[in-house]
Structure 1
Amino acid sequence: MDEVPGAPATQPLKPADPELAVFALDANGDLAQNIGRSLHLELAPHEERRFEDGEFKIRPLANVRNKDVFVISSLYGEADTSVSDKLCRLLFFTGALKDAGARNVTTVAPYLCFQRKDRQTKPRDPIGTRYLAQLLEAMGTDRVMTIDAHNLAAYQNAFRCDSDHLDAQALFARFFSRLVGGKEISVVSPDLGGEKRAELFRERLERVLARPVAKGFMDKRRSEGKVTGDIFAGDVKGRTAIVLDDLISGGGTMARVAAACRREGATEVWCAATHGVFSPAAAPVLESAPIDRLVVTDSVPLPSYMNSDLLQRRLTVVSVANLLAQAIRCCHEGGSIAKLLEEGA
């Protein structure tokens, strides 16, 4: 497995900024520690104590009165800590920060949970994205920051507080441009819902490579846990197909698109997803899929079952630490997130 750091941070904050505090609630703190290093800032301490019945106490151990506070918490599930547990910790910690006099509290969730159900497709369906927004806002969250939301329009419309949306397009474009050489490339969306994301990435890759990049997409319909749809459209014959998605969970979507690209004549298939939310079932699915290279970011740490030799030879992790650090700096200092993304953090 390869690990690729993000671009070096520029114009770092002073080591002791009296108006800024950054906390990290993730048990796996590598990403948060790298964000702190990019900011030249020590992460603020907090206390978390669990009781015998599963309840907990969580509080900041640093003075936050009148400070601009950022709380890093990637909301993915682990074997010993569920998504709901992490969300509850974040909500209670946000409330404690507001009670302690924090001027602003920003939730920095590299991976934001409960976004897959973003609209009603069946009678009485829940709308998880909106409910999540209401919970965070009820506890006093002033701003939410995430990377590559599952549905950007749903994310932007769900929140009444400020919401910043980052993307990994520049990181992926920079990574793939070093590998492409003279190969002909096609960017493929695994479903129609992700076509806009793939198109924006294709346009960025064209600018980086300074030559045309083809495109394609796969039909996909999901109902009651079953995925159907076999229609493939686009130009991948004789090309390296780069399949782009926001996340990989069970691996089935990437596997079926990779197989379709091969059937349509692609010479190689490279798959990229911002969030590697790999379930235990993903490892065997991805091992047997016709995928030559798999690229994810460190928004979610890799689970141990993704460490097989076959997967490690294909897998690359690109860091989003500097992207998040510069976004925190922009928010704190009044900079432009749009300019940051356009320049390619």
Structure 2
Amino acid sequence: MSRLKLFSLDAGADFAGRVAAALGEPLAAHEERDFVDGEHKLRPLDDVEGADVYLVQSLYGDEHSSVDDKLVRLLFFVGALKDAGAARVTAVAPYLCYGRKDRRTKLHDPLSSRYLASLFECLGTDAVLTLDAHNQSAFENAFRCRTLHLPAQPLFVEFAAEQLAGDGNPIVVASPDVGGVKRAEAFRRALGRRLERDIGRAFVEKYRSGEKLSGGTLIGEVKGASVLIVDDLIAGGGTVCRAAAAIAGGGAARILALASHGQFCGDALADLDRLPLEAIAITNSLPQVREGKSLRVVDCAPLIAEAIRRLHDDGPATQLSVV
């Protein structure tokens, strides 16, 4: 493949800078200009004709711009890069928006993840790379262009191994709901191999109706155990709060929560800090603007950089998606 070019939107420059440092490549220059009526334009300032381009930007809403604004900017920049002659454009979205609605559970439900894929494809995106999509199968099936799904599991296995060094308690991996049992089970097996010891399993029942959560029955033995709650996303924090409360009620000695993406909407982080959680570990796929007494950030930039390096060198990249 021809020369590599790494771009970022202004909103993702800090994280993209970490990726660039790990990759050993500079961030390419671009212009991002806002107009008084709220419209904007983006264009590459570096020459990209014939280049292999990677555009790094997580897609999330914050106090400065909505998730839709970031999405439109990213899509328009992909179009500008293709028009400028880029040979290949890969959208690198460590956190990819609209992943929750990937199947119909009610009459006339939308399939937002499929519509998102169509938007990327119609602008000519050649590949999409993300970290721990809400549903890996739905993510991969929604796109017709190439996808690369990176699990954060290896990062969290090492984090957990450090936290549990010298721990003589039984260890249990828990899912905060039935839907995450498969994810938690994969993590449990990986952690067992890393620590060379048996790891227990548990889950907490959860029912959702609109924005209301119910349930909370703990299934599994956690008394006297060090328990790791494994999830993909903490948004409002309700799911993890209910799970942590149930596990604490079950007599756990230590409780740690691990989630790939930390949105922490509203008072979520403050609510979690009031729980008996020794640590809340998340990756830096999303910027963390609030501090929490138990918050731990695991750097995923080197993993993203390695994926970009392998894609540029034409493999082996797909091995990174296997855990």
Band the TM-score falls in, shorter-chain normalisation: over 0.9
The Cα of 1:92 is off from its aligned counterpart by 0.3
2:27 — aligned with what?
A: 43
SS of 1:247's partner is strand
Deviations along 1:122-179, whole A, 9 cap, x unmatched?
Answer: 1111111111101111111110000000111111111111010001111111011012
Match for residue 86 of structure 2?
A: 102
**Equivalents in 1 of 2:144, 2:110: separation in Å?**
19
- Identity, % of aligned pairs? 49
Matching residue of 1:320: 300
Distance in 2 (CA, whole Å) between partners of 1:83 and 1:193 is 25
**Where does residue 214 of structure 2 map in the other structure?**
228
TM-score scaled by length of structure 1? 0.90
Q: Hey, what's the Cα distance between the residues in 2 that align with 1:118 and 1:136?
A: 16
Q: Which amino acid aligns with 2:27?
A: L
19-28 or 103-112, which deviates more: 19-28
- CA distance in structure 1 between the aligned counterparts of 2:230 and 2:10, rounded to whole angstroms: 27
The AA in structure 2 aligned to 1:316 is R
1:21 is displaced (CA, Å) by 0.5
What secondary structure sits across from 2:72 in the alignment?
helix
Q: Which residue of 1 aligns with 2:252?
A: 266
Secondary structure (helix, strand or coil) at the match of 1:123 reads coil
Aligned equivalents of 1:112, 1:72: Cα separation in 2: 11
Q: How much has 1:290 moved relative to structure 2?
A: 2.3
Q: Deviations over 1:268-302 (max 9, x none)?
A: 11001110111122133112222121111100011
C-alpha separation in 2, matches of 1:26 and 1:323:
21
CA distance in 2, matches of 1:143, 1:170: 23
Q: 1:74-89 maps to which residues of 2 (within 5 A)? A: 74-89=58-73
- Aligned equivalents of 1:236 and 1:165: distance in 2? 32
Secondary structure at the counterpart of residue 216 of structure 2: coil
* Residue aligning to 1:172: 156
* 1:118 counterpart (75, 99, 102): 102
2:239 to 245, 249, 253: 253
Cα offset, 1:26, TM superposition: 4.3
Matched positions, count: 321
- Give, as a single letter, the amino acid of the residue that structure 1 aligns with 2:94: P
Kindly indicate whether the alpha-carbon contact (under 8 Å) linking 2:150 and 2:320 is maintained by their aligned counterparts in 1.
Answer: no
SS in 2 for 1:174: helix
> Which residue of 297, 306, 310 maps to 1:330?
310
- The AA in structure 2 aligned to 1:284 is A
Alignment map for 1:1-345 (pairs within 5 Å): 19-180=3-164, 181=166, 182-303=168-289, 306-307=290-291, 311-312=292-293, 314-340=294-320
How far residue 339 of structure 1 moved from its aligned partner, in angstroms, is: 3.0
Residue 18 of structure 1, CA deviation: 5.7
Letter in 2 for 1:274: S
3-state SS in 2 of match to 1:229: strand
- Alignment partners' CA distance in 1, 2:12 and 2:221: 41
Deviation at 1:315, TM superposition (A): 1.3
CA–CA distance in structure 2, aligned partners of residues 150 and 79 of structure 1:
23
Deviation at 1:87, TM superposition (A): 0.1
Aligned residues of 2:56 and 2:91 also touching (Cα < 8 A): yes
Secondary structure of the equivalent of 1:116? Answer: coil
* Secondary structure at 1:286 match in 2: helix
Per-residue deviation, 1:193: 1.3
Where 1:85 maps in the other structure, the secondary structure is helix
Query: 1 or 2 for the larger relative contact order (CA 8 Å, sep ≥6)?
Result: 1
Amino acid at match of 2:66: S
Distance 1:26 1:248 in 2: 25
SS, match of residue 27 in structure 1: helix
Q: Indicate if the aligned counterparts of 1:170 and 1:341 stay in contact, CA closer than 8 A.
A: no
Provide TM-score, normalisation by structure 2.
0.96
**Partners of 2:145 and 2:319 in 1: how far apart?**
21
RMSD: 1.4
In structure 1, distance between residues paired with 2:111 and 2:285 = 24
Distance 1:26 1:257, change over 3 A: farther
Tell me the residue number matched to 1:10: none
The alpha carbon displacement at 1:341 in A equals 5.2
